[in-house]
Amino acid sequence: MRIAVIDGQGGGIGKVITGKLRKEFGEEIEILAFGTNSLATAAMLKAGANEGATGENAIVVNMPKMDYIIGPLGIIVANSMLGELTPLMAQAIATSDAEKFLLPISRCGIEIVGAKAEPLPHLVDALLVLLQEHWRDKNV
């Protein structure tokens, strides 16, 4: 299972996601970290990603190769993350055939009506449950 974790700015969200994925699944999964900048990529690599790449071309080229894409909601919104997420990045992520698990974090300027504000660790725990269920259903 190839999982892309995408983050920008300081990489804190991606770092938490990557660390919990690695703890939960161990080496059963391949985690690829994609940062909109080198700081974000480095944070995810330190948290346990197998490989990492930075920038628009890395994201555009690799999204079609992923089984799952995980990150904050802003990764499918052009010009989010203070402009770090380019329109081509957002398009590559949104149009990939990979299953997408997006965390409803409101810092990207989008509010999801009905989504309850939760601390990041709670969102990531819920993500892990969904990912396990999805993975189990695909492998039955």
Where are the chain's structural domains?
2-138
CA nearest to 78, candidates 124, 110, 105, 54: 110
Neighbours of 6 (CB within 10 A): 32
Give the pLDDT band (50/70/90) at residue 140: low
Q: Which residue has the tokens 């892990």?
A: 128
Give the pLDDT band (50/70/90) at residue 135: confident
The pLDDT value recorded for residue 114 is: 83
Q: Could you report the per-residue pLDDT of 35-91, keeping only the tens digit for each?
A: 999 999 999 999 999 999 999 999 999 999 999 999 999 999 999 998 999 999 999
pTM of the model: 0.93
Task: Give the architecture-level CATH label for domain 2-138.
Answer: 3-Layer(aba) Sandwich (3.40)
